[in-house]
Amino acid sequence: MDVNTEKKVEYTFKAPRGTVDILPTKWTLWRNLEEAGRQEFELSGYYEIRTPVFEDTRLFIRSIGEATDIVEKEMYTFSDSEDSSITLRPENTAPVMRAYLEYELYKTKKFQKFYYIGPQFRKERPQAGRLRQFHQMGIEAVGATDPLLDVETISVATRIFDRIGLKGYKIKINSIGCEQCRPVFRTILKEKLCDHKNGLCELCQSRLNRNVFRILDCKNEGCKSISHHMPSINDYLCESCQSHAKAVREALLEIGIPYIADAHLVRGLDYYTKTVYEITHSSLGARDAICAGGRYDNLISDIGGPSIGSVGFAIGMEATILALENVMAKHKTFSQEVCGPSPSIYIISISEETKKHGFCLLNLLRKANLSADFDYEGRSLKAQMRTANKLGVKYVVVVGPDELARGDVKIKVMETGEEVVLKQNEVPRWFLNKDASMKS
C-alpha cells in the first residue's frame, strides 16, 4: 500500500494530553538507562526508596514553596475526601524527606542515602518536550553538609551518562546562597530589576514580587538581556557559602569533572541553598536540562524535622533518552528498530494435535528458565519458520506428527543447520547443558 495515500484511522481513545506511551520498541533504551542508574546508585551506596505517587498537598506547598510555578499552577491537586487535599507528586525529593521523618530514619543513622525511579506529574502547557507525566531517577544524600557530598552527587550523574554512552553533556553550577546572604541579594536584585520593569515579559513582571530569582533564567530575549546586566549572587555570598562553593569547584577539578560556572543558574524550587547545578545537552534546544540538582539544607526543617543538610539531583529520563537518540542518530549508530529481548528457542507445531504437545514443551522450557516462544496464530509451517528467522532465535524445535508418534521432537540449530532428535522430556536438560548463556 502507498504510505502517502494511506488514511490514518482515528480511534476514539487517545493517551491523555501531555502523556505518551512508552512502546516496546523504546524499552531497550529505557532499561539501559534504568540499569545504568541502579548500578551507579548502588555502587555509591544509595538505597532504593519508593514513595506513593500522591501526597498530602501541604507537603509540596511547604517544601517547594507557595510562590513557585509548580505550586501555583502545575500541580494535579484534588480531594479524596471532604477534608483532605492530595496532589500527584510533581517531584520526589519532598516525599523522600517526608518518609525519612515519618519513619524517624534519622534516629538509627543520621546520614543516609536514597535513590528513586518513577513517574512525576506536572500540569505544564503541552508543547514539545514537556510532558505532564514524566519520569525521573534521582538521589538524595541526607544528613551531611560536606561540600564533597555535593560533588559526589554530580559525579554519580555524570557516570550514569557516561555508562549509557551519552556524549556532549555540560555541567553548569552556581551557588544561590543561604538564608543569611540570599535575602540581601534578593533585595538588591529586586531594586535593580524594578528599574527595568517595562522591559520584562509579563510573567517576569509578576515574578518581581513573588520569585525574583526566576527572572534570571527566563528564556524571553528581553528578560535575558536585562538579567545579563544584573549583579551576580557570587558577589553577595556570605563567608560560609563562599568557602562551600570554592570547595565544590576545587573538588570537581580534582576528580576531573569539567564545569561551567553560571551565575544566572537558579532553580524553580524554593528549597535549594548553596550549590545548585544543571546538566544540559545542546541537542535538546531551549529546554536542554537532563539533570538538575543541588543542596537543600533547610528542606527537612521546613517540613517540621530537625535541621539536617541534604543534597541530591533528579535526572529527567525522557530528556536523557531523547538526547541519547539525537546523538545516536547523528553518528548513525541507531536504528529505529530497537527491540526488546528475543527468545532463544522457537517451537513449531504442525497440527492441532502436535500444538498441544508443543505448548506443554513451551511451558517446560520456560519453567527451566529458558526463553522460548510459540505460534498462537495457527499459521503454516513456512510462516512459523519465517517468524523464527525474524526473531533471530538460536534453535527451532519442530513438533510434527511423525515425531509425535515416536514421542520425539526435532531440534534445529539455526547457525549450523545441524539437526538433533530427542525424546520430549529430554529437551529442557539438553538445552541447559548445551548453552548456559541461553538462560534468560
Contact between residue 385 and residue 372 where contact means Cβ atoms under 8 Å apart = no
Cα–Cα distance between 145 and 131 in angstroms, integer?
34
Determine, following the binding rule CB under 5 A, whether residue 181 of this chain makes contact with Zn ion. Answer: yes
Identify which of 356, 400, 366, 361 has the alpha carbon closest to the alpha carbon of residue 380: 400
Determine, following the binding rule CB under 5 A, whether residue 137 of this chain makes contact with Zn ion. Answer: no
Residue 365: enclosing H or E segment and its boundaries? helix 352-367
Binding residue for Zn ion, selected from 139, 166, 173, 178, defined by CB under 5 A = 178
Determine, following the binding rule CB under 5 A, whether residue 147 of this chain makes contact with Zn ion. Answer: no
- From 89-97, 212-220, 257-265, 411-419, give the range in contact with Zn ion by CB under 5 A: 212-220
Measured in residues, the chain has a length of 440
Ranges of beta strands (E only) in 238-304 are 260-261, 273-281, 289-295
In DSSP terms, 295 is beta-bridged to: 273, 311
Minimum CB separation of residue 215 from Zn ion in Å reads 6
**Residue 140 in marked binding region:** yes
Number of CB atoms found within 10 A of residue 128's CB: 9
Radius of gyration (C-alpha) of the chain in whole angstroms = 28
- From 86-94, 222-230, 312-320, 403-411, give the range in contact with Zn ion by CB under 5 A: 222-230
Minimum CB separation of residue 298 from Zn ion in Å reads 12
- From 197-205, 286-294, 311-319, 338-346, give the range in contact with Zn ion by CB under 5 A: 197-205
Contact between residue 165 and residue 173 where contact means Cβ atoms under 8 Å apart = no
Query: Count residues contacting Zn ion (CB under 5 A)?
Result: 11
Find where cell 491523555 sits.
16
Cα–Cα distance between 241 and 177 in angstroms, integer?
6
* Non-local CB neighbours of 426 within 8 Å, separated by 6+ positions: none
Determine, following the binding rule CB under 5 A, whether residue 204 of this chain makes contact with Zn ion. Answer: yes
- From 160-168, 196-204, 252-260, 354-362, give the range in contact with Zn ion by CB under 5 A: 196-204
Binding residue for Zn ion, selected from 180, 225, 363, 380, defined by CB under 5 A = 180
**Residue 267 in marked binding region:** yes
**Residue 103 in marked binding region:** no
Determine, following the binding rule CB under 5 A, whether residue 389 of this chain makes contact with Zn ion. Answer: no
Determine, following the binding rule CB under 5 A, whether residue 223 of this chain makes contact with Zn ion. Answer: yes
Dihedral through CA 319, CA 325, CA 327, CA 333, nearest 10? 160
Determine, following the binding rule CB under 5 A, whether residue 201 of this chain makes contact with Zn ion. Answer: yes
Number of CB atoms found within 10 A of residue 108's CB: 8
**Residue 271 in marked binding region:** yes
Binding residue for Zn ion, selected from 99, 238, 328, 420, defined by CB under 5 A = 238
Pick left, alpha or beta for residue 369 (phi over 0 → left; psi -120 to 50 → alpha; otherwise beta). Answer: left
- From 43-51, 221-229, 376-384, 424-432, give the range in contact with Zn ion by CB under 5 A: 221-229
Residues 148-177 that bind Zn ion (CB under 5 A): 177
Considering the complex, state which of residue 64 and residue 218 has its C-beta at the smaller distance from Zn ion.
218
The phi, psi pair for 149, rounded to 5°, reads -70, -35
Considering the complex, state which of residue 201 and residue 328 has its C-beta at the smaller distance from Zn ion.
201
Binding residue for Zn ion, selected from 133, 220, 326, 387, defined by CB under 5 A = 220
> Count of alpha carbons within 13 Å of 146, Cβ hemisphere only?
11
Considering the complex, state which of residue 59 and residue 181 has its C-beta at the smaller distance from Zn ion.
181
- Contact positions toward Zn ion, by CB under 5 A? 177-178, 180-181, 201, 204, 218, 220, 223, 238, 241
Binding-site residue ranges for L-histidine: 91-93, 122, 136, 140, 267, 271-272
